[in-house]
Amino acid sequence: MTDITADTATGASAYAAAYEQSITDPDAFWLDAARDIDWTTPPTRAVDGSRAPFYSWFPGAELNTCYNAVDRHVEAGRGDQPAYIWDSAVTGTTETITYSQLQEQVAAFAGALAAEGVSKGDRVVIYMPMVPRAAIAMLACARLGAVHSVVFGGFAAPELAIRIDDARPKVLVTSHGGIEPTRKVPYFPMVTKALELSSHTPSTVIVAPRHTEFPDETLPETPGVTWSYWDDVVVDVSPADPVPVAATDPLYILYTSGTTGMPKGVVRDNGGHAVALAWSMWNIYGIRPGDVWWTASDVGWVVGHSYIIYAPLLVGATSVIYEGKPVGTPDAGAFWRVASQHGVSALFTAPTAVRAIRKEDPEGSEVAKYDLSAMHTLFCAGERLDPHTHQWATNVLGKPVVDNWWQTETGWPIASNLRGLDPMPLKAGSPTVPVPGYDLVVLDGQGNELPAGEEGNLAIRLPMAPGTLAGLWNDDERFLSSYMSAFPGYYSTGDGGYIDSDGYVFVMGRTDDVINVAGHRLSTGSMEAVIAKHPAVAEAAVIGVRDELKGQRPVGYVVLKAGEVRDPEQLRAELVEMVRQEIGAVATFRDCTVVQGLPKTRSGKILRKTMRQIADGQSDVPVPSTIEDPAVLDALAPFLRGEK
């Protein structure tokens, strides 16, 4: 698939027809899409709005998600095809698991869970590194109709304890630990501490061993808990068959972390999830059975749930599970090595990963070392793909670079370029158009719809597409207050942006990243996009800090590319002039500091709110549990406070 320039005809009729039908006749549209899923009781209608704004999908239908992801491909004669390829750059290990092997291993572990008393509706917490058994554990839960809640392996004990208490699992599945480029992260101390802190106690902890990497670790002893190794619990158990569940039954709980209070447990259903993800693989990503698909994320995040574990297998593709980093395992060519070695058709990663590669290899010389002829597209999501990074990746790869916009709550893209259905011209800075099923609008503060080109609050008219959050675990009130109260009849995304006259969506950042300078509402994302164009800049963050005269003023923090040395004052002057030329003097952008790094979550989002709180002099600023490296924030804090 080749790139499309803005000069070519869009041939948008396929997209326009699909989008129109999805909004005006969602039942017909999604019942047609549901034919790609195998049902034990097929659906007769798609959407049920009788409890709006709690919508449900495919009421009365039954299926099993694990059967759809694994067994049906074996029954279709494709059991010898790889389902997962595990590539561990940190241990130098690769492993291929065929669909037949996966079916056997999932059925065995599901049988082991059943022997521990896990059945339909019970919860299992999974706290694992990027190893194949993390996927097997998730699919085994789905096979039984149990509800998995995966907790990212980097979370500390208090965060794990909070999730154990909220989900109340019968079993916790973990491992000896994770492997980072420069260290090992043992999990046993965190799990035992979490069990001490939590009021709920799972009856069993099952450990997927990594004896080679953690040779001295022995199973802990915890009051009221039986610790067992995976290999022991699967011996002499009856393999479990798939258990049919209602389409509206929960498949998983995934907690989103806030800076304060309890994390929100996003609930995903079985039926809508399977239909939406299968549709997305065909129509958004252009992935077909047998293609090799690689999502460079972690199973602990929504991207990993959707596009490492479930979606590729629902359409019979091969999914790469990667344990490593974009740089440092061993170098900035790590991603291109994996893509070349495994014949990857499309790569899906975060813009932060692309920026990290660009920082270390600004000329893109590592790309030339590998054969990427099988790869037709690079997809990005997780944070806004700034135009400069988009252009850099396009230039060095010579392939389309496609931005996606979506959230943990939606589970799959709200806006994208639909490469499988109807490829459209790419515009840097835009994820292209709303995906069928999402009636996306731009609203002002009073809930009035804004015309093309005007920036406001991005909201989705209800009902949203299938596969989006069915609610929050045991917290209907918070679901309503968090998402449905700002604009009645709409889901509030919390993001700001606009839709241009061509129907292209531009997401400028969280609405709390819109600052008010002397009565003018300005997007810090717009300023970051300008700054990122500077040839010396690898990454940038702009925050609004308090100003007695203007209310707020924008302040920038930039990280330079590897090898770049610039006079700070000269660079500041150049960046100020760039913002003035592209946004105008109204931005009053005058302050910009070169720093060594920007604080981020493990999924790649820059912690702008935390930076802003420190810059504003707030005491006891809560640091999100998702922070990747607290030392980066510690080093930045003196600059934010004006001490350096």
* Bond preceding residue 223 cis, omega within 30 of 0: no
Residue 486 maps to a domain = yes
Q: Are residues 470 and 542 in the same domain?
A: no
Give the chain's end-to-end CA distance (angstroms, integer).
49
Instruction: Say what the pLDDT of residue 603 is.
Output: 72
Instruction: Say what the pLDDT of residue 4 is.
Output: 33
Look at the block and give the residue holding tokens 């009636």: 439
Give the 3-state secondary structure of residue 122: coil
- List the beta strands (DSSP E) in 200-301: 204-208, 226-229, 245-246, 250-256, 264-269, 292-295
Rounded to whole angstroms, how far apart are CA atoms 393 and 626? Answer: 27
- 129 in Cβ contact with 151 (< 8 Å): no
Look at the block and give the residue holding tokens 């009130």: 477
Q: Are residues 190 and 249 in the same domain?
A: yes
Rounded to whole angstroms, how far apart are CA atoms 80 and 103? Answer: 11
Look at the block and give the residue holding tokens 């991005």: 458
Residue ranges of alpha helices (H) inside 284-326 are 302-304, 311-314
- 1 in Cβ contact with 400 (< 8 Å): yes
Residue 366 maps to a domain = no
Instruction: Say what the pLDDT of residue 79 is.
Output: 98
Q: How many domains does the chain have?
A: 2
Q: Which residues contact 272 (CB under 8 A, 6 or more apart)?
A: 56, 57, 58, 247, 466, 467, 468, 470
CATH code, 566: 3.30.300.30
Give the 3-state secondary structure of residue 175: strand
CATH code, 225: 3.40.50.12780
Q: What are phi and psi of 14, to 5 degrees?
A: -65, -45
Q: Are residues 67 and 210 in the same domain?
A: yes
Q: Are residues 446 and 526 in the same domain?
A: no
98 beta partners: 82
Q: Are residues 18 and 139 in the same domain?
A: yes
Instruction: Say what the pLDDT of residue 512 is.
Output: 63
Q: How far is CA 443 from CA 101, 384, 408, 437, 490, in A?
A: 50, 20, 22, 19, 10
Q: What is the 3-state secondary structure (H, E, C) of 70-102?
A: HHHHHHCCCCCCEEEEEEECCCCEEEEEEHHHH
pTM as predicted: 0.84
Residue 623 maps to a domain = yes
**Please, what's the b/e burial string for 316-330 (b: 16 or more CB within 10 A of its CB; e: otherwise)?**
bbbbbbbbbbbbbbe
Residue 417 maps to a domain = yes
Q: Are residues 93 and 51 in the same domain?
A: yes
User: What radius of gyration do the chain's Cα atoms show?
Assistant: 24
Range of the domain at 552: 518-640
- 478 in Cβ contact with 264 (< 8 Å): yes
Q: Are residues 220 and 295 in the same domain?
A: yes
Q: Are residues 135 and 217 in the same domain?
A: yes
Instruction: Say what the pLDDT of residue 551 is.
Output: 65
Residue 319 maps to a domain = yes
509 beta partners: 496
Instruction: Say what the pLDDT of residue 549 is.
Output: 60
**Please, what's the b/e burial string for 112-125 (b: 16 or more CB within 10 A of its CB; e: otherwise)?**
bbbebebeeebbbb
- Mean pLDDT, contiguous 10-residue spans, the chain (644 residues): 34 85 98 98 97 97 98 98 98 97 98 98 98 98 98 83 95 96 91 95 97 93 96 97 98 75 88 98 97 95 96 98 95 97 97 90 96 97 84 96 94 97 94 98 95 95 97 95 94 93 89 60 75 92 78 88 90 90 73 92 83 87 84 92 81
Residue 298 maps to a domain = yes
Q: Choose one of 469, 498, 527: the last residue of a domain.
A: 498
Residue 20 maps to a domain = yes
Q: Are residues 523 and 463 in the same domain?
A: no
